[in-house]
Amino acid sequence: MNQYACDHAMSSMRITAHFQGIWVPMVTPFHDGDGDIDFGAAQQLACELAASGIDGLVVCGTTGEAAMLSAAEQTMLLDSVLEAVGPRFPVVMGIGGSDTRSVVSAVQRYNDHPLAGLLISAPAYVRPSQDGIARHFQAIAAATDQSIVLYNVPARTGVNIEPQTAALLARDSHFVAIKEAGGKLQQLGELLLDTRLDVLCGDDALLLASLSMGGHGAMSAAAQVRPDLYAQLYHLVKQGRHGAAGALFKTMLPVIRLLFAEPNPAPVKAALAMQGKLRNALRLPMTQMSAAGQAALAATLEPLLALPAWTASDRDAPREGCLLQLVSPANIMPAVRQDDHRHHG
């Protein structure tokens, strides 16, 4: 498959400096037996996702089992996806690591790639101070001209990127967005209020609440199972059609819960295998979803897969009302913050 194979899906797309809408961190398909990357399946999956109405892809994120890929494999996978979707569809490369010098070296490998940005997590395991986290990211920014999306996932790294640290980093134009997967709506709200970053939900079960608070979108592992429905949900909220958005999300939520009932990406790969998109193969220490989990997932997935397909042409529907505001005991989060950088030249 060549770089023009998906042109019909991307003729109006371009690399964007803003991170909004639904972004999908792709799984990495493997062959059975030898466990090598199935590049053909990866390219096909990338093309299908790009044509589904989503806004961008992430290669080598957590969902892509990047920790189990060599540096050479990561680069080959990225090149394969870029070839498949062409130069006009936004692609982000995931990079992680605990040693700042090693991460800087990894970042520099992609300085000549046509990327929308880099998704970089906080240093894992070593649990640095907030000052250490800030200096880690500042060293990375000094080594690249690529846009950087901060990735806050304390359940995996052991450290939280505090909103104050994110706001400090946001003073540097390299930092354009944050994938917030800390599981706390209050922190997500603080990021919306106190930084200029595009805030992307990284907890799929909180997606509707995040969008209703004024969140800019999501980087959603579960979205690759029915990406069009996630794009539809995003546009329903942006159109103020909250009744329809709530009904759709209620239908999606049982599947979302099962997709994270066991370690990611095992359930997502199981679901994609049920759809015939790839083999249900993972690299150790990741293992397949349990038999009981797969049975429950198959039964729950069936009605979701039966829903009508949504296309980008369905975006321009009548509005139901103004964008909701989410009220919590602590505060009220405005739908759009005053310093939103999208409204500045």
* Residue numbers annotated as active site: 151, 179
Cβ contacts of residue 345 below 8 Å, gap of 6+?
A: none
Bin 83: left if φ > 0, else alpha if -120 < ψ < 50, else beta: alpha
Cβ contacts of residue 184 below 8 Å, gap of 6+?
A: none
How far CA 290 is from CA of 47, 65, 215, 259, in Å, comes to 29, 18, 34, 12
Residue ranges in the chain assigned as alpha helix (H): 7-10, 39-50, 71-85, 100-108, 130-141, 154-157, 163-169, 185-194, 207-212, 227-238, 242-259, 266-274, 291-305
142 vs 169: CA distance, rounded Å? 12
Burial class (CB in 10 A: 0-12, 13-18, 19+), 342: exposed
39 vs 21: CA distance, rounded Å? 26
The SS3 assignment for 238 reads helix
Please tell me whether 311 is known to bind a ligand: no
List binding-site positions for pyruvate: 63
List binding-site positions: 63
